[in-house]
C-alpha cells in the first residue's frame, strides 16, 4: 500500500516563528486540522532539539497528526516521534531506517532528477522535491526547479511526492496540479499573524481530507 500523505505538510522552524513558543504554534496548526508536522531546527544543540520535540511528539498524535523531526533519527526514537526527514547531507536513508525502524516514516529531500531516482530506489516513504519557487527559508537554497521540474519528478517516481520551496496560498493549487501529493510550507504559515487561519486557508484550497494514496 502506498503511503497516504496529507495534502499539507507544515514545517515548524524556530527561526521562522517570530518568537512564538513551539507548543503555541503546534496547537494553532492542530486546531486548524493539520495532520503532518515537522520540527526543523538547524541552529540548536541535540539536547535543545530533544527538549523542544518531546512535548510536541506527545501532543501531536492526540490530534491524529504525524509528528516528524528533521535530520535526527536518534531524537525521533528518543521522543517517540512518527518519523524522520533527512536531506542530502544527513544520514543516508537506509541508515536512518535502521535507527527508526520499519513502522516510522522516513522522508528524503531531493533537488534534481538523479536524486529523485535514487530516492525512488530507497526505502524512503516519501520524497520531498524542490525548491519549486524561490525560498527564503534556507540560507543557501538549491536552484529552483519550477513546476515543469516538478512534473518531471512526478514522472520519475511512484512514491508520494512532497513539493517544497516558496509555496504560498496563492500557488499551492498549481503545485498539486503539477503532480505533488502534498505541499510543505514554512514561511507562509509561520510568518502569518494567525497560523491557524493561514493553515485553514491552505487546507480549504488543498482539500482537508484529500490524503493522496494508491493501492
Identify the residue whose cell numbers are 529523485.
Answer: 116
Nearest to 10 by CA among 37, 42, 40: 37
Identify whether 40 is a catalytic site residue: yes
Please name which of 37, 110, 111 lies closest in space to residue 69, comparing C-alpha atoms: 37
Catalytic residue among 53, 97, 109, 182: 109
Query: Angle, nearest 10°, between helix axes 195-206 and 22-32?
Result: 30
Catalytic residue chosen out of the listed positions 42, 44, 114, 138: 138
Residue that is written with C-alpha cell 520551496 in the block: 165
Residue 198 designated active-site:
no
Using CA atoms, how far apart are residues 10 and 40, in angstroms rounded to an integer?
10
What gap in Å lies between CA 215 and CA 34, rounded to an integer? 24
Active-site residue identified among 35, 40, 104, 159: 40
Calculate the dihedral angle through the C-alpha atoms of 161, 214, 91, 130, rounding to the nearest 10 degrees.
Answer: 0
| Residues labelled catalytic | 40, 109, 138
Amino acid at each position: 500500500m502506498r503511503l497516504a500523505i496529507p495534502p499539507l505538510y507544515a514545517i515548524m522552524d524556530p527561526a521562522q516563528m517570530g518568537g512564538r513558543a513551539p507548543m503555541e504554534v503546534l496547537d494553532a496548526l492542530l486546531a486548524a486540522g493539520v495532520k503532518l508536522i515537522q520540527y526543523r531546527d538547524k541552529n540548536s544543540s541535540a539536547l535543545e532539539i530533544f527538549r523542544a520535540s518531546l512535548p510536541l511528539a506527545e501532543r501531536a498524535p492526540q490530534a491524529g497528526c504525524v509528528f516528524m523531526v528533521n535530520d535526527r533519527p536518534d531524537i525521533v526514537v528518543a521522543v517517540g516521534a512518527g518519523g524522520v526527514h533527512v536531506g542530502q547531507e544527513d544520514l543516508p536513508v537506509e541508515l536512518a531506517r535502521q535507527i527508526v525502524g520499519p513502522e516510522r516514516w522516513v522522508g528524503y529531500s531531493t533537488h534534481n532528477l538523479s536524486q529523485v531516482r535514487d530516492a525512488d530506489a530507497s526505502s524512503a516513504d516519501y520524497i520531498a522535491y524542490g525548491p519549486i519557487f524561490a525560498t527564503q527559508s534556507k540560507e543557501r537554497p538549491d536552484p529552483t526547479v519550477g513546476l515543469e521540474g516538478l512534473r518531471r519528478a512526478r514522472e520519475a517516481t511512484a512514491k508520494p511526492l512532497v513539493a517544497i520551496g516558496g509555496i504560498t496560498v496563492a500557488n499551492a493549487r498549481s503545485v498539486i496540479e503539477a503532480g505533488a501529493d502534498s505541499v510543505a510550507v514554512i514561511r507562509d504559515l509561520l510568518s502569518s499573524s494567525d497560523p491557524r487561519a493561514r493553515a485553514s486557508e491552505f487546507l480549504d484550497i488543498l482539500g482537508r481530507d484529500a490524503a493522496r494514496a494508491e493501492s
